[in-house]
Structure 1
Amino acid sequence: MYTVKEMFYTLQGEGAHTGRAAVFLRFTGCNLWSGLEKHRAEAICSFCDTDFVGTDGVNGGKFKTASELAEAVAKLFPGEKNRFVVCTGGEPLLQLDNELVSALRERNFEVAVESNGTIRPPSGGVDWLCISPKGTAEVVVTHCDELKLVFPQADAMPDRFAGIKAQLRYLTPMADPHAGMDEVIYRNTTTQQTIQYCLDHPQWQLNLQSHKVINIA
């Protein structure tokens, strides 16, 4: 059984695949926060801005088999070519398994995963792995395609992850999850701090969430 918050077709808004058409497959649940506001202050990841609770989102629901879920994803992508799915959450690796990855690949999807790095991914088939460590959580992933860190985090500063092998390293300015548009378009001191860190440490690149700027899902 797979429990999905929402599935929708859009453009990837950040990271290496910015601008690429994709189906976002958002799983329910996370191991670093319950998703409930009453638990936010005590959560390891207290700054999350994503609703991953329940199955009431667009195309959300419970799917009994990998084939059923993969077929639902396929119906959202126009055509058979350049198929791309981003498995996210919450924490997708609480649910994403080899069976589902295989079912998606059988339908010609490249499979990307956005994870907090606390759970190892399925042994085969994932085409692009992005990890985004949070707070004091132990990161068990040592190799990834993309390391994307929300900055600054007192317990998760960039130098802590120097040993992770990654093709690309991104810093995303931390924003208040309840902030208004001025925060969304990065008129804040945190963005300036992130820019300066990238200038001082050029192995890191600035990552802005363009989907928020242009107001798409």
Structure 2
Amino acid sequence: MLAVNELFETIQGEGVFTGVAAIFLRLQGCPVGCPWCDTQHTWDKNNQAQVKPEQLIMKTGDSPSWAGMSEQAVLELIEQQGFTAKHVVITGGEPCMYDLNALTELLHETGYQTQIETSGTFEIKTSAQTWVTVSPKLDMPGGYEVRADAMARANEIKHPIAMQKHIDALDALLERCPVAAGTTICLQPISQRPRATELAIETCRKRNWRLSVQLHKYLAIE
């Protein structure tokens, strides 16, 4: 069973698929502990917060409530909502705490494409067709290490930065855990800070990397 925190349709605001209409499936649970995380309500999976699946759609704000759902139930809930997007983003929390093979295969069989957004600290269990975005979380309070197999599986590296030391840390990680040829590397300024944005732009120009600006935050949408 998957612990689902949220299911909604919006525009993807980050990374390679910025601007694409997307269905976001947010899963509950994450032990990584990123200090700047904007979904801290998904960290803990408390039994007292469990609700019925139909209550997820009625959410009007962030909350730690979650529903236990099978892969088929997730697909049925997507179809019941009449969403028109065909790009499903599986995020969290940390979605790779779950085996996502069955869910992603089911979604592909029914005409969807899938993307996973992960910290790279858990084994990635998903369909070979899934686009994997690794946002490597280094030296976080949870103490989890970024996995070499996660970096090797990534189609896209999306790295949040505020200072040069964050770029240096990414360089060291890429040296230690190489990515496949053709993997897109995106730099994402933390909290839209002007200096972080300037540094990201400058580095992307020099290295032919890609800028990710969290479009949804500039547009004030979910």
Q: TM-score range by the shorter chain?
A: 0.7 to 0.9
In the TM superposition, residue 102 of structure 1 has moved relative to its aligned partner by: 2.2
Give me the whole-angstrom Cα distance separating, in 2, the residues matched to 1:198 and 1:103: 36
SS in 1 for 2:122: coil
Gaps of 5+ in 1: 34-44, 176-185
Which residue of 147, 156, 159 maps to 1:146?
156
Matched residue, 2:61: none
Q: TM-score, normalised by structure 1?
A: 0.78
Q: Percent identity?
A: 29
Name the aligned partner's letter for residue 147 of structure 1.
Answer: I
SS in 2 for 1:19: coil
Q: What RMSD over aligned residues (CA atoms) do the two structures have, in Å?
A: 2.4
Report how many aligned residue pairs link the two structures.
193
In the TM superposition, residue 134 of structure 1 has moved relative to its aligned partner by: 0.8
In the TM superposition, residue 194 of structure 1 has moved relative to its aligned partner by: 1.7
Matched residue, 1:9: 9
SS in 1 for 2:29: coil
Which residue of 190, 195, 198 maps to 1:189?
195
Query: By percentage of residues, which structure has more helix?
Result: 2
Matched residue, 2:36: 47
Name the aligned partner's letter for residue 150 of structure 1.
Answer: P
Pairing 1:78–2:67 present: no
Distance of aligned partners of 1:187 and 1:91 in 2 relative to their CA distance in 1, 3 Å threshold: closer
SS in 1 for 2:16: helix
Matched residue, 1:106: 109
Give me the whole-angstrom Cα distance separating, in 1, the residues matched to 2:91 and 2:135: 11
Q: TM-score, normalised by structure 2?
A: 0.77
**Segment of structure 1 superposing worse, 206-215 or 151-160:** 151-160
Matched residue, 2:93: 90
Distance of aligned partners of 1:76 and 1:161 in 2 relative to their CA distance in 1, 3 Å threshold: farther
Matched residue, 2:31: 31
Gaps of 5+ in 2: 44-48, 58-64, 140-144
